[in-house]
Structure 1
Amino acid sequence: MYTYPIHLEPAEEGGFVVTLPDLPGCITEGDSHEEAVHNAVGAARALLAALVRDREDIPLPSPANGRPVARLPALDTLKLRLYLEMRAQDVSQSDLARRLGKTPKDVWRLLDLTHASRMDQIEAAFGALGLVVTTDVRKAA
C-alpha cells in the first residue's frame, strides 16, 4: 500500500501543520493529531490524483521509521499501481481501452482516484497488462 510518512508541526494558533516529505508541496493542517493525519490522507490523494491527471511521475513513499503515516485506501493504491504499470509497459489509455473493449474515458475512470471503480474492472485492466491482483491482510501496526 502507499503509506506516506508525515511530519506534524505544532501550529502557532493551535493544532498541527502537516507536510508529506515524499510529496513536495503537499501540506495541510488539523486541529488535533487525528484530524491532521486524516487531512494528510486527503491532501495526498488530491496531489496524487493531479499527478496522474497530468501524467507525471508518482513519488514512492519512503520508510516510515516510526513517523506517523498517511495510508492511502486500497483502491487508490491499485489505481496508482495500474497507472505506473501502464507507464512501465508504455501502454496508453487508448491502448488499454482497446484491449478491454472499452473507451479511453472508461480507462480514465479506472485511474481517477476520485472515481469509485469496481474491483472487477481494476482486475480486468491488470489482466489486460498480463498481471494478476493478489491481496494481503496483516495486523495493524
Structure 2
Amino acid sequence: MYDYAIRFEQDTAPGLAVFCRDLPELNSYGDDKEHAIREALDAIETTLSIYVDQRRAIPQASPAQPGEHVVRLPAVTVAKIALWNEMMARDMRKADLCRILGLAQTQGDRLVDFLHTSKMEAVETALRALNVKLRVIQEAIADPLDIWIILPESRISSGFTVRQLVQAFGDDRELVVGKDNAKQDEIKKHSLDFILRGFANAASRNTRQSTVPVIDALVATGVFRRSRMVDPETAREVDSLALI
C-alpha cells in the first residue's frame, strides 16, 4: 500500500537524481544507483513530513513501472501514515490527538513525526484510540537479496537491502562483526560495523550499528550465518558474519 516506487535520472552533475511519481515533492540524489537507493528512505520520510506540515493526506503507492525501484517502508512508518491519514479523514489536529491520548504536545507530535523514531506500541495505542486496528500480512519476498534491513540505532530511520551488503562484502566471505562504540574513523575497516555505518544516516555514523537485532535480521534472510573467525588485526578469535 505504501511501497513507493522511485526512478532515477542522470543529473547534469555527476550522479543520479531520484524522483517518485506518487510523491512529486520528493527530490533526492545519489552518487550512483546504490547510493541513491540508500538515500531514498530518508527522502521519502522527509517528504511525508511535508504532507504533515501542510495537513494533507498521504497518498497510497501505485504499482511500480519498468525501470523503477520499490522502497519498502519500515512497519512503524506505515503505521504513522495510517494514523495521520485517519486524523485527516476526521479533520483532527495534533492537539486533538494529544487530548484523546492524554499526552503532552511534544509526545503527541512525535507520533506523526516521520523524522522521529517512535516505538510501534505507541503508534498502535494511538490508532486503537481512534478505533483503527493494524493488520500485519506476511508476504514472502521472492528474492532474499531484496529484503530491506532496518538500522534501529540510526537516529533517522535508515537501512539497506541484503543485496547492498553482499556487494559491500566484496571478495570477502566473512567479516568481523565489530562491537566497538568508537567513532567511525576509529573502528576496524574490515568489520561489518564499519560497512553498516555507511548505510546509516549521517547523524548516526558514530553509533554502533552491528547490534543483535540487525544480526538476527541478517541471519533470518538465509543469506548469512553467525560464525567465528580470527581477527587479522588482533589474531584473536571473534564473532563474525559469513556469507552462506
TM-score scaled by structure 2? Answer: 0.52
Residues 72-123 of structure 1: CA distance to partner in whole angstroms, max 9, x if unpaired? Answer: 2221111111000011123332222222121232211100011121222111
C-alpha deviation, 1:25, in angstroms: 3.4
C-alpha deviation, 1:130, in angstroms: 0.7
Letter in 2 for 1:115: H
Letter in 1 for 2:121: D
Superposition pairs for residues 46-61 of structure 1, below 5 Å? Answer: 46-61=46-61
Could you say which residue in structure 1 is the equivalent of 2:3?
A: 3
Superposition pairs for residues 68-107 of structure 1, below 5 Å? Answer: 68-107=69-108
Q: Distance in 2 between matches of 1:110 and 1:29?
A: 28
Q: Distance in 1 between matches of 2:93 and 2:130?
A: 11
Structure 1: where are the runs of 5+ without partners?
none
SS of the equivalent of 2:98 reads helix
Q: Distance in 2 between matches of 1:127 and 1:33?
A: 40
User: Of Structure 1 and Structure 2, which has the larger fraction of its residues in helix?
Assistant: 1
Quick check: 1:2–1:72 contact (8 Å CA) kept in 2?
Answer: yes
Letter in 2 for 1:36: A
Could you say which residue in structure 2 is the equivalent of 1:115?
A: 116
SS of the equivalent of 1:18 reads strand
Query: Identity over the aligned pairs, expressed in percent?
Result: 36
Bigger mean CA offset, 115-124 vs 93-102: 93-102
C-alpha deviation, 1:20, in angstroms: 1.1
User: Of Structure 1 and Structure 2, which has the larger fraction of its residues in strand?
Assistant: 2
SS of the equivalent of 2:23 reads coil
Could you say which residue in structure 2 is the equivalent of 1:133?
A: 134
Residues 12-48 of structure 1: CA distance to partner in whole angstroms, max 9, x if unpaired? Answer: 5543221112222322221222211222222111111
Quick check: 2:3–2:61 contact (8 Å CA) kept in 1?
Answer: yes
Structure 1 residues 7 and 102: alpha-carbon distance in aligned structure 2, compared to 1, 3 A threshold: same
CA RMSD in angstroms comes to: 1.9
SS of the equivalent of 1:63 reads coil
Bigger mean CA offset, 109-118 vs 68-77: 68-77
Letter in 1 for 2:25: G
Q: Distance in 1 between matches of 2:34 and 2:138?
A: 23
Residues 118-137 of structure 1: CA distance to partner in whole angstroms, max 9, x if unpaired? Answer: 22211110111011222223
Superposition pairs for residues 9-88 of structure 1, below 5 Å? Answer: 9-66=9-66, 67-88=68-89
Higher Rg of the two aligned structures: 2
Structure 2: where are the runs of 5+ without partners?
143-244
Quick check: 2:57–2:88 contact (8 Å CA) kept in 1?
Answer: no
* Higher relative contact order (Cα pairs below 8 Å, separated by 6+ residues): 1
Q: Distance in 2 between matches of 1:44 and 1:79?
A: 13
Quick check: 2:16–2:30 contact (8 Å CA) kept in 1?
Answer: yes
Quick check: 2:18–2:29 contact (8 Å CA) kept in 1?
Answer: yes
Q: Distance in 2 between matches of 1:49 and 1:103?
A: 20
TM-score scaled by structure 1? Answer: 0.86
